[in-house]
Structure 1
Amino acid sequence: MEQMKFIRKLPEPMEVKREIPLKPEFQKLKAERDQQIADIMTGKDDRLLLIIGPCSADNEPAVLDYCTRLSQVAEAVKDRIFIVPRVYTNKPRTIGKGYKGMLHQPDPEGKENMMEGIKAIRRMHVHVIEETGFTCAEEILYPENHRYLSDLLSYGAIGARSVEDQLHRMIASGAGIPVGMKNPTSGDLSVMMNSIEAAQSEQDFLFHGWEVHTTGNPYAHAILRGYVNHFGTSMPNYHYESIQKVAEMYAERNVKNPAIVVDCNHNNSGKKYLEQIRIAKDVMASRSYSNDIRHIVKGLMIESYIEDGNQKIGEGIYGKSITDPCLGWPKSRDLIMELAEKV
């Protein structure tokens, strides 16, 4: 007997887009930002791509506050660094328990309500664009969810637990924006490379009740986020040698625009958020040492919020992560300014 209860029919993506639209002037802004990121990926633009923001975008006022602060720094470093805020609204859970992001719970202390969640996350992304001029990055955790935000996002990421999934790879092939494919938690780089190659290829598949064809995504690329060894220990893969290995794997394959983004948190830092500062500088040192690495490492990913660290749901500290610990604003601002000097 089927044990699946259908709660309510959710609106189609186009219905939600009509209800919460993006104004034409901001559609033009998104197209301009998309092109700039594409130029970074192809090497036409030699600025560093910096994807930075909260582990989880759990609270619209704090996220807007953070992005407003970030926009002021972005203006100061715009000749050297192109900043894309992380506004991640759905969070993977290894055993399916705990806070799964604003998509599930618009109020982290409330019940799950995906009807309200879909609208809340779209509103927040629209407000970020309108108030700060940023178009943002999201994790494509649920392939079905991407269409609700597809006209707002400038960068997508496929997570370590999703990167082996065929549907995620196919969605990435038709996303129309750069999509980073993370190495899996096992650290098997060939899995990540297979995912990139699949995302760059034309695909035909079943999606949302439609037969779909994609033309392939030439901006699909690698995100190195560290891994867990067979003893359960966090292992980094941001060092010079790891980057060199991925560059060699790219050279063996027929892929366009070989590119790497280094995730400075997760297993690269062992979730010790302060280590992100050292790791970011280490990657910049590798770029300075080797011109080849400078050309292939296009950017960094950093988890950052208003307050250092993290808190439990219900503690109520404004601008402090309720998921993984993040680098606080003063340290984040200082790091961005230092990175600009090293580009």
Structure 2
Amino acid sequence: MSMKINHELPLPEILKAEYPVPEKLKKIKVERDREIRDVFTGKSDKFVVLVGPCSADNEDSVCEYVNRLKEVADRVSDRLLIIPRVYTNKPRTTGDGYKGMLHQPDPDKAPDLLAGIIAIRKLHIRVMEETGLTSADEMLYPENRSYLDDVLSYEAVGARSVENQQHRLTASGMDIPVGMKNPTSGDLSVMLNSVTAAQHPHRFIYRGCDVRTSGNELAHTILRGGVDKYGKNIPNYHYEDLARLAEMYAKRELKNPAVVVDVNHSNSGKQFKEQIRIVSEVMHSRNYNPELKRLVKGVMIESYLVEGRQDISENHVYGQSITDPCLGWEDTEKLIYSIAERNA
């Protein structure tokens, strides 16, 4: 038989009871969720900055990073809304490589998904405890989000998942913003179809149950660039791309039109330093055109304590990515202050 059961995983309710969210943190999350919702509904003119490691690979270094981020967030809180990227599930194009803390809470050890589920829940709670910031994660496995749905304030559906029916339907039952990335092909219609599906109610099978959802009016788009049939990067963060997306939104009856621009991945060609320039261009486009200022709600930046990336090895550099290369802290801090100045 080609599939073997390693562990029977606990139900989400059981794990939540074992690792509960303290009452004071529940109140923090309610307020954070309201503040984030207000940005996506247009009640607030703050600009969202989703920023953090490509993949959260170490609890201590991630928490050190978010503690630094908290200090900056407090200084720019009148203009920006900082949401830390604490991505614990890492999609892999070929299936090879580090798949995130969910799979390997310790990158040096063999996969253990039971330990991983516990580790990522504890990590998200620790981030809240130490900083008062609630975080974003990627919905790589729709059924697994039930272990984290009481701690996350933002979720993204990746380029390789956005056409999947289960992701779309699950997103329709969420009450927080969910960003739908354009697929790796760069097709904007596919992305908008996904948003349309997520904003409508559905009935389907979820975790062995017949469920009904009411639709998620906070579902929105994320531009991350694409690749053509020859594997060449096709950026989609330019003014013309944003204007085209605004036109496409106008032709659909969607609530709360919004886009977040992912300034890494195929938009930067994974040239991590390019994120600085791309953010600048996005802010210029947004300030030049009032319609785009209403549409472009934020940017997504990959950043960690130490710039670049490394392979998993004995000579591990604390706070440096083991997946895609990231901006270092010094550049990140300057970039956030620059964004704040341009969102006057």
Q: Provide the TM-score with structure 1 as the length reference.
A: 0.99
Q: Deviation string for 1:220-254 (max 9, x for gaps)? A: 00000000011211110000110111111111111
Aligned to 1:36: 35
Identical amino acids, percent of aligned pairs: 56
Equivalent position amino acid for 1:322 in 2: I
Measured in 2, the distance between the counterparts of 1:231 and 1:98 equals: 23
SS for the counterpart of 2:137 is: strand
| Mapping 1:217-228, distance limit 5 Å | 217-228=216-227
Aligned to 2:234: 235
Equivalent position amino acid for 1:266 in 2: H
Measured in 2, the distance between the counterparts of 1:8 and 1:67 equals: 32
Aligned to 2:300: 301
Aligned to 1:334: 334
SS for the counterpart of 2:309 is: coil
Q: Deviation string for 1:68-121 (max 9, x for gaps)? A: 000000000000000000000010011211110000001001000001000000
How far the C-alpha of 1:3 sits from its partner, in A, is 2.2
Aligned to 1:195: 194
| Mapping 1:135-154, distance limit 5 Å | 135-154=134-153
| Mapping 1:85-96, distance limit 5 Å | 85-96=84-95
Q: Deviation string for 1:189-232 (max 9, x for gaps)? A: 11000000000000111011100110000000000000001121
| Mapping 1:98-137, distance limit 5 Å | 98-137=97-136
Aligned to 1:318: 318
How far the C-alpha of 1:6 sits from its partner, in A, is 1.3
Aligned to 1:207: 206
Q: Cα RMSD (Å) of the superposition?
A: 0.6
Aligned to 2:277: 278
SS for the counterpart of 2:205 is: strand
Gaps of 5+ in 1: none
Measured in 1, the distance between the counterparts of 2:187 and 2:267 equals: 15
Measured in 2, the distance between the counterparts of 1:72 and 1:265 equals: 24
Q: Deviation string for 1:105-156 (max 9, x for gaps)? A: 0100100000100000000000000001010000000011101000000000
How far the C-alpha of 1:28 sits from its partner, in A, is 0.8
Measured in 2, the distance between the counterparts of 1:58 and 1:3 equals: 29
Aligned to 1:65: 64
Q: Deviation string for 1:286-316 (max 9, x for gaps)? A: 0110000000000000000000100001231
Aligned to 2:253: 254
Q: Deviation string for 1:256-294 (max 9, x for gaps)? A: 000000000000000000000000010000011000000
Q: Does 1:11 align with 2:6?
A: no
SS for the counterpart of 1:309 is: strand
Gaps of 5+ in 2: none
Q: Deviation string for 1:20-52 (max 9, x for gaps)? A: 111111111101111111100011100100000
Measured in 2, the distance between the counterparts of 1:203 and 1:186 equals: 27
Equivalent position amino acid for 1:141 in 2: L
Measured in 1, the distance between the counterparts of 2:110 and 2:160 equals: 25
Aligned to 1:287: 286
Moved over 6 A (4+): none
Measured in 2, the distance between the counterparts of 1:121 and 1:158 equals: 18
Aligned to 2:184: 185
Greater alpha carbon shift after TM alignment, 6-15 vs 150-159 = 6-15
Equivalent position amino acid for 2:335 in 1: L
SS for the counterpart of 2:89 is: coil
Measured in 2, the distance between the counterparts of 1:252 and 1:143 equals: 29
SS for the counterpart of 2:307 is: coil
SS for the counterpart of 2:174 is: coil
Equivalent position amino acid for 2:19 in 1: I
SS for the counterpart of 1:211 is: strand
Matched residue count = 342
Measured in 2, the distance between the counterparts of 1:164 and 1:83 equals: 28
Equivalent position amino acid for 1:320 in 2: Q
Q: Does 1:25 align with 2:24?
A: yes
Measured in 1, the distance between the counterparts of 2:25 and 2:80 equals: 21
Measured in 2, the distance between the counterparts of 1:161 and 1:62 equals: 28
Equivalent position amino acid for 2:226 in 1: Y
